C-alpha cells in the first residue's frame, strides 16, 4: 500500500495519509473509551512529552475530528459533543487576550488541567500494564496445592454453682408465700419497698407533691437511711412513670422533684 | 557420549540443571500439587536429564526434623505436617456461659424431686419446659432418664447423674438442703446476686405465667438494670 | 535449630517452646494453609508465649532461594512457589478470565489511588464506570468497599484487598510498581478542575476538599490499617 502511494503524485500523499488516518479514527470511534481516551490517542500524533503537549493544537484536532464525523453522518455519543463544546470554549480562551473583568480560571489553567488529566490517564494505563505484567498467583507462582484443613471445635461449658441451684429452687418454692425483706441491712430501703409504698399512696396525690414527702416514717432523720430511701423512692417513681401511672417534674436544676398521679383520661 | 561427567564444567544443551536446582523444582512441584506426585510425573515435568529420585532424597533430608516432612504415599510423594505438630491444625475455643435461669430451675427441680416427669417439672415451675433446656442438661450429663413412671402414658422421668453430684460437690442428692435451711442460710434473700440479671430475657421467653407480681424482685431488678445501662 | 542452650534455666509450665520449635510450628501452620495466615492467628494456635513474628523472620531466611518461599501479604504470611519455577507448574494453573481493559484500568486506579470513589475513578478515566466492572473486581475479591468518604452524600470508596496483594505478589499496597515515581510526579494528587466551585458536581468537588492526603502515603496506610483491623 505504501508502495502504491509513493508512486503517486507526491502532493497527494500527505492528504491521503491524513484521510486514511481520519477514517481509521472514525471507524474506530466505538473503540474509544470516551473523549479523554480519544484525546489521548490524538495527542500521540504530536509525539511529545505529555507535559509539553500543545492543548490548543489538540483541541483543534479534536474539533476537526468531530467535524469530520459529523460530515460523514456518524453519530457521536453525547459526551463527545460535550467535550467538543468545552474544547471550543477552551480554544477561544486560549486565543483571545484575557478579559480582566472575567472571573474564573484562565485558558492556561484549563489547558494545564486537561494536560494533567491526559498525563494521569496515561500514567494509570502504564501502571495497569505493569501490574498485569507482574508474576501472578495461579499463573506464575502457586499456593499450597494440598492444604490441610484446620478443624475448628467450639466447646461451650456451662457453669452453675450449688448456691445458684439452691437459690433457683428456693425461688420456685417460695414464689407464692415469700415476701422480700432486707435482713442485716437495716439502713437499706429497697426499691420494691418504695414501689409498694408509693403504689398505695398514689391514689391520694392528684396534685404535684414533693417526692420527699413519700419517704416512709423513720427514714427521714438518719442521713444514711434518708439517702437510701430517697434513692429507692426516686427509682420507684421512675418505674411508675415508665408504667404511665404517674408524672414527674422538676422545675429547675436541683429543685425538688415532684410527682402526681396521672389522670385516668390521660392514659 | 559419556554423559556421566559430573565434573564437566561447560554446559551442553542437554545438561540437566544442577542438583540444587532440581531439588528446588521437586520442592515446588510437591508443594503446589493438589495430590501426591510420582517420580515419573515429576520427571515428565522437569527438564530433560533431571533425576527427581535423587533430588527427592536430598529434599527429604532437608526437611528432616522440620515442621513439615516429605512423605511417601504409595509410590508417590507429598508434604505432610510433622505428626507431633498435628495439634496446630486444631482450633479450639472454649466459651464459658452461665446456665440460663430456665435451665438452673429445671435442674433444681429434678435434683430435689427426682425421679420427676416433665409434666411435674412444668407444674412446679409454672411454665413449660423447653426441649432445648432438657437437651442441654442431658448434654452436660447432669441429668439422665430414670425409670418410666408406672402411670397412664408411662412418662419418662429425669434424675440427676453422678457427674451432677460431682460438679456440685454433693455426696448424694439427699444432701441438698431443705427450704428451712436455705432460709436460715440467707439464700432466700430477695436480691438476686449481682450478674444474675441477664437471666431475665430467658424467663420472659418462656412467659411470665406464675409470676403475677410484676413488681416482685425480678421486675424491679429488670427495671434497675435498664437504668444502669442508660 | 540450635535452640537448646545448655544454660537454659529450669523449664516452667508456661515457658514458650524454643525458637527452633516455634519456627517448625509456623512452618507447619503455613504449609497447611492455601490462604495467607495472620500472625495473630498463628499465635492463637501456638502454645502460650510464642512469638510467631520472630519465628517468621527465621523461617523466611531459611527459605530464601528455595523452591518455595515465604511471602508477606499485608499483615499475613503464606508460602508460595518461586516465580521462576512457574513453568513446571503450568498444570496447576487455573484459567483466569481475561479482564477487559476497563476492568484492568479501574483496578489500577483503585490500587494506586485508594481509597477512591466511583466519581474519582470516572474523573480519571473520563468515562463512566460500568456496574459490571466493579462487580467483577469485587467478585474476584480484588477490591472491596472502604470507608465512606466524609463528604456530602457520603460516597463509598473502594480499596484493594489482601487477595489482590496475594495475587500480584505484593507485600503491601505501598509496594505497587512505580508508586513512588507517580506520587513524585504529582500524578496521584487529587487535583480539582480549576474554577470548579460547586456549580457542577458538588459531591466530587467537596470530596477532594480537605483530604489532600487521601491519595498519598496516608491513604495507602489507612487502607492497610483497615486490613489489620479485620
pLDDT digits (tens, 9 = 90+) for B83-136: 899 888 877 667 778 888 889 999 999 988 888 999 889 888 888 888 889 998
pLDDT averaged over chain B?
75
Contacts of C146 (CB under 8 A, 6+ apart): C114, C115, C156, C157, C158, C159, C223, C226
B106 and B175 assigned to the same domain: yes
Whether C8 is covered by a domain: the verdict is no
Whether C6 is covered by a domain: the verdict is no
pLDDT digits (tens, 9 = 90+) for C194-204: 776 544 444 44
Q: Is B109 on the interface with A (CB under 8 A)?
A: yes
| B206-B212-B216 Cα angle (round to 5) | 95
| Number of compact structural domains in chain B | 2
Three-state secondary structure of C4-37:
CCCCCCCCCCCCCCCHHHHHHHHHHHHHHCCCCE
3-state helix vs strand vs coil in chain C, percent to 5? 45, 10, 45
Which residue on chain A is closest to B79 by alpha carbon? A146
Confidence (pLDDT) at B5: 47
Rounded to whole angstroms, the Cα distance separating C110 from B3 reads 55
Whether C210 is covered by a domain: the verdict is no
Q: Is A153 on the interface with B (CB under 8 A)?
A: yes
DSSP code at position B131: H
Residues A24-33: b if buried by 16+ CB within 10 A, e if exposed: ebeeeeeebb
Give the best residue of A90, A131, A133, A134 to mutate against chain C (max C CB count within 10 A).
Answer: A131
Between B220 and B51, name the one with better pLDDT: B51
Q: Which residue range(s) make up the domain with C196?
A: 101-204
> A89 in helix, strand or coil?
helix
C106 and C194 assigned to the same domain: yes
Q: Say what percent of chain C tops pLDDT 70.
A: 77
B52 and B122 assigned to the same domain: no
C34 and C72 assigned to the same domain: yes
> B94 in helix, strand or coil?
strand
- Average pLDDT rounded to a whole number, residues C135-158: 89
For the ranges A187-196, B8-17, B34-43, B72-81, the lowest mean pLDDT is seen at B8-17
CATH code of the domain covering residue B52:
1.10.10.10
> A7 in helix, strand or coil?
helix
What are the strands of the beta sheet with B116-117, ordered from one edge? B116-117, B157-160, B143-145
Q: How far A190 CA lies from chain B's nearest CA (Å)?
A: 10
Q: If pLDDT is split at 50, 70 and 90, which confidence band does A103 have? A: confident
B136 and B73 assigned to the same domain: no
Whether B230 is covered by a domain: the verdict is no
C137 and C187 assigned to the same domain: yes
Give the best residue of C48, C59, C67, C91 to mutate against chain B (max B CB count within 10 A).
Answer: C67
Rounded to whole angstroms, the Cα distance separating B100 from B201 reads 9
B105 and B200 assigned to the same domain: yes
Contact B28 C68 (CB under 8 A): yes
Rounded to whole angstroms, the Cα distance separating C94 from B34 reads 12
pLDDT digits (tens, 9 = 90+) for C161-182: 999 999 999 999 999 999 999 9
Which residue is associated with the grid cell 523461617?
C59
> C124 in helix, strand or coil?
helix
pLDDT digits (tens, 9 = 90+) for C19-74: 999 999 999 999 999 999 999 999 988 998 999 999 999 999 999 999 999 999 99
pLDDT digits (tens, 9 = 90+) for B164-216: 887 777 777 777 777 667 766 665 554 444 444 433 333 333 333 333 333 33
Cβ(B177)–Cβ(B93) below 8 Å: no
Chains touching A (at least 3 CB pairs under 8 A) are B, C
Report in angstroms the alpha-carbon separations of C75 from A152, C35, C72: 22, 12, 7
Chains touching B (at least 3 CB pairs under 8 A) are A, C
C57 and C110 assigned to the same domain: no
Contact A135 C169 (CB under 8 A): yes
B113 and B200 assigned to the same domain: yes
Whether C221 is covered by a domain: the verdict is no
pLDDT at C227 over 50: no
Confidence (pLDDT) at C60: 95
pLDDT digits (tens, 9 = 90+) for C65-113: 999 999 999 989 999 999 999 888 877 676 667 888 899 999 999 999 9
Whether C114 is covered by a domain: the verdict is yes
- Average pLDDT rounded to a whole number, residues A214-239: 85
Would you call the peptide bond into B115 cis, given omega within 30 degrees of 0 as the criterion? Answer: yes
Confidence (pLDDT) at A20: 64
pLDDT at B148 over 60: yes
Whether C110 is covered by a domain: the verdict is yes
Confidence (pLDDT) at C215: 39
Q: Is A190 on the interface with B (CB under 8 A)?
A: yes
Question: Residues 30-69, chain C: which have Cβ within 8 Å of A?
Answer: 31-35, 45
Confidence (pLDDT) at A6: 41
A98 closest CA partner among A81, A85, A111, A86: A111
Of B34, B92, B188, the CB nearest to A170: B188
B149 and B195 assigned to the same domain: yes
* Pairs from B61-67 (Cβ < 8 Å, separation ≥ 24): B62/B23, B65/C1, B65/C24, B66/C24, B66/C27, B67/C23, B67/C24, B67/C25, B67/C26, B67/C27, B67/C28, B67/C29, B67/C31
A161 CB burial (10 A radius; 0-12, 13-18, 19+): middle
Between B101 and A75, name the one with better pLDDT: B101
B128 and B169 assigned to the same domain: yes
Which residues does chain B have within 8 Å of residue A182's beta carbon, measured at their own beta carbons? Answer: 190
Whether B96 is covered by a domain: the verdict is no
Q: How far B126 CA lies from chain A's nearest CA (Å)?
A: 9
Q: If pLDDT is split at 50, 70 and 90, which confidence band does A25 have? A: low
Question: And the C-alpha cell for C35?
Answer: 490462604
Report in angstroms the alpha-carbon separations of B115 from B120, B140, C191: 10, 18, 81
Confidence (pLDDT) at B215: 36
C200 and C105 assigned to the same domain: yes
Rounded to whole angstroms, the Cα distance separating A2 from A78 reads 36
Which residue is associated with the grid cell 479485620?
C230
Amino acid at each position: 500500500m505504501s508502495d502504491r502511494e509513493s508512486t503517486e503524485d507526491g502532493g497527494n500523499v500527505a492528504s491521503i495519509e491524513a484521510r486514511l488516518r481520519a477514517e481509521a479514527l472514525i471507524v474506530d470511534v466505538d473503540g474509544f473509551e470516551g473523549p479523554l481516551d480519544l484525546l489521548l490517542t490524538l495527542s500521540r500524533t504530536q509525539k511529545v512529552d505529555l507535559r509539553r503537549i500543545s492543548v490548543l493544537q489538540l483541541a483543534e484536532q479534536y474539533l476537526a475530528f468531530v467535524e469530520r464525523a459529523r460530515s460523514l453522518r456518524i453519530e457521536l455519543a453525547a459526551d463527545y459533543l460535550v467535550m467538543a463544546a468545552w474544547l471550543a470554549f477552551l480554544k477561544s480562551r486560549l486565543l483571545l487576550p484575557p478579559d480582566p473583568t472575567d472571573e474564573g480560571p484562565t485558558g492556561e489553567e484549563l489547558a494545564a488541567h486537561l494536560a494533567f488529566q491526559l498525563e494521569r490517564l496515561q500514567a494509570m494505563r502504564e501502571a495497569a500494564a505493569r501490574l498485569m505484567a507482574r508474576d501472578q498467583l495461579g499463573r506464575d507462582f502457586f499456593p499450597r496445592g494440598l492444604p490441610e484443613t484446620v478443624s475448628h471445635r467450639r466447646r461451650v461449658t456451662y457453669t452453675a454453682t450449688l448456691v445458684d441451684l439452691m437459690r433457683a429452687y428456693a425461688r420456685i418454692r417460695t414464689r407464692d408465700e415469700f415476701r422480700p425483706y432486707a435482713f442485716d441491712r437495716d439502713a437499706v430501703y429497697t426499691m420494691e419497698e418504695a414501689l409498694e409504698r408509693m403504689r398505695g399512696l398514689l391514689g391520694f396525690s392528684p396534685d404535684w407533691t414533693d417526692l420527699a414527702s413519700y419517704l416512709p416514717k423513720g427514714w427521714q432523720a438518719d442521713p444514711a437511711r434518708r439517702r437510701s430511701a430517697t434513692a429507692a423512692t426516686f427509682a420507684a417513681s421512675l418505674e411508675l412513670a415508665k408504667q404511665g401511672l404517674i408524672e414527674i417534674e422538676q422545675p429547675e436544676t436541683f429543685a425538688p422533684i415532684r410527682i402526681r398521679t396521672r389522670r385516668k383520661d390521660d392514659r | 557420549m559419556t554423559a556421566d561427567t559430573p565434573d564437566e564444567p561447560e554446559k551442553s544443551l542437554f545438561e540437566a540443571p544442577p542438583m540444587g536446582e532440581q531439588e528446588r523444582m521437586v520442592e515446588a512441584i510437591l508443594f503446589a500439587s493438589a495430590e501426591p506426585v510420582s517420580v515419573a510425573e515429576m520427571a515428565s515435568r522437569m527438564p530433560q536429564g533431571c533425576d527427581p529420585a535423587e533430588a527427592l532424597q536430598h529434599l527429604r533430608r532437608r526437611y528432616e526434623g522440620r515442621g513439615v516432612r516429605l512423605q511417601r504415599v504409595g509410590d508417590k510423594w507429598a508434604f505432610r505436617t510433622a505428626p507431633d505438630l498435628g495439634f496446630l491444625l486444631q482450633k479450639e475455643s472454649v466459651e464459658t456461659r452461665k446456665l440460663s435461669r430456665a435451665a438452673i430451675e429445671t435442674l433444681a427441680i429434678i435434683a430435689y424431686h427426682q425421679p420427676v416427669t416433665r409434666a411435674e417439672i412444668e407444674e412446679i415451675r409454672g411454665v413449660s419446659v423447653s426441649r432445648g433446656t432438657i437437651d442441654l442438661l442431658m448434654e452436660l450429663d447432669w441429668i439422665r432418664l430414670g425409670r418410666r413412671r408406672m402411670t397412664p402414658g408411662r412418662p419418662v422421668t429425669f434424675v440427676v447423674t453422678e457427674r451432677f453430684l460431682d460438679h456440685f460437690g454433693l455426696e448424694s442428692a439427699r444432701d441438698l438442703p431443705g427450704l428451712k435451711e436455705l432460709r436460715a442460710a440467707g439464700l432466700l434473700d430477695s436480691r438476686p446476686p449481682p450478674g444474675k440479671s441477664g437471666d431475665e430475657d430467658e424467663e420472659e421467653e418462656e412467659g411470665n405465667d406464675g409470676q403475677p407480681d410484676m413488681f416482685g424482685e425480678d421486675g424491679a431488678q429488670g427495671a434497675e438494670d435498664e437504668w444502669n445501662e442508660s
